[in-house]
Amino acid sequence: MKIVSILLAFILIANFNLYSSKGKNDLRIDLDSVRYWAYQIQGIEEEQAVEKLARSRYDMLVVEPTRTDWSSDNKYFDTKGMVKKLKSSFANDGFHRKIVIAYLSIGEAENWRWYWKWGNNFPDFIIGPDPDGWEDCYLVEYWRKEWKDIIIYGVNYSEEGRDYNSSLEEIINDGFDGVYLDWVEAFRNEDVIKRASRKGVNATLEMLKFMEEIKNYARARNPDFIIIQQNGIELCEHSELFKIIDGFAQEAIWYDGVATDDWYDRDGYDIKNEEELTNYYLKYINTYRINEKPVFNCEYAFHYSKDAYKKSYENGLIPYCSRRSLSKLTTTPPFGYFNISLQKGFSFAGWWNNSYSTDEAIVSLNNLRATGTEWLSLIVTWYQENEHSTKIAPDKDATPSDDSIVYAINLAHSLGMKVMLKPHIDLYNGKWRGEIEFYSNRDWRSWFKSYKEFIRHYADLAERNNVEELCIGCELVKTTTRNEWLDIIEAVRENFSGPLTYASNWDEYKNVKFWDYLDFIGIDAYFPLTDKNNPSIDELMLAWDKWKGEIIMTKDAFEKPIIFTEIGYRSIDGCNIEPWNWWQAGEIDLQEQADCYEAAFSKFWYEEWFFGFYWWMWWPELRGGENDDSYTPYKKPAEKVLRKYYKNETFYVRIEKPGNAIYIFDREIIKAEKTIIIGKITIEVNSSENIDEVEFYIDDELRYLDDEKPYEWLWNEFSIGKHEIKVIGNEAMDKKDVFIINLV
């Protein structure tokens, strides 16, 4: 058995290359496991487009095989390189790789493809123009040998001497995992039916035959090649279809748009279908599901994307929302796409050009990490003259430089922290940013134009430096009923692929109009609690009840999770009365600050809809201690409360072995990005001194209990696949995902 296990280990490592130095993997996610997918068939050749697709968290990508596009801009596009890059990127689970599918129109010819050599002198298998209004697309006699040679069998030659195989052969050679067959529905077009009848063939049966030939040709080359049918839903009335396809996709069940290449065309999305048409689709979709085929749907919805996702999930579908041009990835993804859990955050705020790159800042950030903080809200501020100024600009002295910000991002990442970049606007006249307001549409447009330049700069910086989250604005109270914010959000999503939030003031969040287009509801939670200088923790928690109830109402209305983008208390007497007040005079009161921390944690920490605190604030300078009255908890009793929740410092357990490595029969062979185990493994646990015993779980099943140090357990049972190891000691827990092959 040891020899068999070792052979399996080498096969696994050699063939899947799961843990190369670049962290790539070749373990393709199953089609049945796809939860999030994207569909982009225009703009692939644009700068950074492929990189954005690779950085996305989608399980499956349906993309244009651009080398078959013979337009002047695309004829030399490196499609094979694109596919290789996309296949080396991770799916949403962070373990498998993405599925990469090629778009292929089989019921229409397109005049920008390599095969279009005849100009306007059409061959006789062309029937007529696209019935939906797509220019330069033409229905074809898809049963004809000439067309099948173009799609499946033939070898063609360009005028420049570069040979092109059939479209399918090109797709296979470029390494795609499968094809997404469009214009299958040509079989029900009246002109196609008439032409087929004149030629003595059945349009429906010929389409089934054509699809089967595509499958057979592709599977002969690649037995795992995937066939996905788009539209033509009525084909499910023929049982042989389910031996041909692996999945089905339907466009526009609830929301449609007119044919347009322009992403910004207002008619290209949000057109509601008649209920009768929707019900027609849903009736047939059940047949695909009964035959155990995953059903994907593409809804052309922007303002209604939340509704489209909700209805899709209610009907067991796998949705994607976009616009008819299918040229960008800027529509808000469904909740769960970003796979983010509780954010143990803190605000790191500096107001000097090198604030984040000094020796003192390095020490300070390490001190912050030691509290258990896992997310860093990195503050950068630009300025405008007053509340009616329309120009926003960096200050050469007071704005942290890009180099300083990038330095802090890299340092945070090196410490195992994630980063939310949080750009602010401040006013030179000393007034609050919440007073920014204008009295003419012209001034509003000018200000938003300047704001877009400001926020896109940091969206681009965030994307280039692997920032995990972006806050698109902070406490801009009098601006957030304006529709210009939708343009801002879309501009940001064009540059940044991570989750977005907005930091609304505590008395503003209920009035923000654009929560549907963001991923979290962000609140700067400086809620006034009591009118007492020394309230008890119970009194503070009681005061939170009113605010918590209102927060829940907003959460329910928008169906979005909540994060506190800021929350904080100065260490002064009465800090709970006006928590936002930087200038309030008062005696130092370290305990009230700690009590406010405890009350907030107790009230929200265990709520499943609450996704995190970003406490205000931690200085880049080494400030804090018992004589400091600022917001920082550093070297104050509040820091102990922070550590209690963020670090679980009262008790801790940690899985020391296995780590991120490949193990063969209990021996570490090589470090890796994940954990692979061949044969038996001893699970070793480190813990705090006050742990009484440690429970060992495999996939939530208790398997062993150890009440003597060192805590360890030899796991030696037949097992193949992915499992979760979990250990619990007193109130502490740690867990690790592993991939194991143990034949015992």
User: Which residues are within 8 A (CB) of 190 and not within 5 positions of it... i.e. 6 or more apart?
Assistant: none
> In this structure, what CATH number is given to the domain that contains residue 603?
3.20.20.80
Average pLDDT in the 662-668 region? 95
Average pLDDT in the 198-209 region? 98
Cα distances from 168 to residues 67, 161, 172, 498, 511, in angstroms, run 12, 20, 6, 34, 52
In three-state form (DSSP H/G/I as H, E/B as E, the rest C), the secondary structure along 60-76 is EEEECCHHHECCCCCCC
pLDDT of residue 326: 93
Pair 117, 256 in one domain = yes
Tally of CB atoms within 10 A around 156: 14
What are the tens digits of pLDDT across the range 584-602? 999 999 999 999 999 999 9
> In this structure, what CATH number is given to the domain that contains residue 732?
2.60.40.10
Q: What percent of the chain has pLDDT over 90?
A: 83
Strand arrangement, sheet containing 653-657: 653-657, 681-687, 711-715
Confidence of residue 313 (pLDDT cuts 50, 70, 90): very high
> How would you classify residue 700: left for phi > 0, otherwise alpha for psi between -120 and 50, otherwise beta?
left
Average pLDDT in the 261-272 region? 92
Pair 117, 187 in one domain = yes
Residue at 26 is within a domain: no
The two three-digit tokens of residue 705, written as one number: 């209990």
Residue at 3 is within a domain: no
In three-state form (DSSP H/G/I as H, E/B as E, the rest C), the secondary structure along 242-302 is HHCCCEEEEECCCEECCCCCCCCCHHHCCEECCHHHHHHHHHHHHHHHHCCCCEEEEECCC
Average pLDDT in the 133-148 region? 94
What are the tens digits of pLDDT across the range 628-638? 999 999 999 99
The two three-digit tokens of residue 524, written as one number: 């700067």
Pair 299, 347 in one domain = no
Residue at 676 is within a domain: yes
Distance, in Å, from the CA atom of 717 to the CA atom of 719, rounded to the nearest integer, reads 6
Confidence of residue 155 (pLDDT cuts 50, 70, 90): low
Pair 680, 635 in one domain = no
> In this structure, what CATH number is given to the domain that contains residue 254?
3.20.20.70
- The domain of 350 spans 343-646
Ordered DSSP codes for 351-369 = -STTTTSSHHHHHHHHHHH
Pair 639, 672 in one domain = no
- Do 231 and 185 form a contact (C-beta atoms < 8 A)? yes
Choose one of 602, 620, 646: the last residue of a domain.
Answer: 646
The model's pTM: 0.80
Cα distances from 306 to residues 297, 495, 519, 549, 568, in angstroms, run 14, 22, 11, 23, 32
Question: Which residues, in sequence order, are bridge partners of residue 522?
Answer: 503, 563
Pair 134, 211 in one domain = yes
pLDDT of residue 193: 97
pLDDT of residue 20: 37
Average pLDDT in the 247-256 region? 98
Pair 384, 483 in one domain = yes
CA proximity to 187, closest of 170, 211, 169, 152:
211
Secondary structure class of 520 (helix, strand, coil): coil
Distance, in Å, from the CA atom of 193 to the CA atom of 212, rounded to the nearest integer, reads 20
Instruction: Flag whether pLDDT at 24 surpasses 80.
Output: no
pLDDT of residue 26: 66
What are the tens digits of pLDDT across the range 404-423? 999 999 999 999 999 999 99
pLDDT of residue 161: 44
Pair 218, 248 in one domain = yes
Residue at 729 is within a domain: yes
Q: What DSSP character marks residue 189?
A: -
Confidence of residue 157 (pLDDT cuts 50, 70, 90): very low
- Do 443 and 400 form a contact (C-beta atoms < 8 A)? no
Pair 557, 439 in one domain = yes
Instruction: Flag whether pLDDT at 194 surpasses 80.
Output: yes
**How high does pLDDT run on average in the chain?**
92
Residue at 338 is within a domain: no
Residue at 247 is within a domain: yes
Amino acid of residue 225 = F
| The total number of structural domains that make up the chain | 3
Average pLDDT in the 657-667 region? 95
Choose one of 622, 646, 670: the last residue of a domain.
Answer: 646
Confidence of residue 75 (pLDDT cuts 50, 70, 90): low
What are the tens digits of pLDDT across the range 519-565? 999 999 999 999 999 999 999 999 999 999 999 999 999 999 999 99
Pair 522, 440 in one domain = yes
Cα distance from N-terminal residue to C-terminal residue, the chain: 7
Instruction: Flag whether pLDDT at 383 surpasses 50.
Output: yes
Distance, in Å, from the CA atom of 172 to the CA atom of 553, rounded to the nearest integer, reads 52
Ordered DSSP codes for 663-709 = EETTEEEEE-SS-EEES-EEEEEEE-TT---EEEEETTEEEEEE-SS
Pair 275, 387 in one domain = no
pLDDT of residue 22: 37
Choose one of 287, 321, 355: the last residue of a domain.
Answer: 321
Residue at 225 is within a domain: yes
Which has more pLDDT, 622 or 8?
Answer: 622
The two three-digit tokens of residue 279, written as one number: 């019900």
Pair 581, 615 in one domain = yes
- Do 213 and 163 form a contact (C-beta atoms < 8 A)? no
| Minimum mean pLDDT range among 5-19, 249-263, 324-338, 720-734 | 5-19
Distance, in Å, from the CA atom of 99 to the CA atom of 26, rounded to the nearest integer, reads 10
Residue at 11 is within a domain: no
Q: Strands 667-671, 661-664: parallel, antiparallel or unpaired by DSSP?
A: antiparallel
Q: What percent of the chain has pLDDT over 70?
A: 93
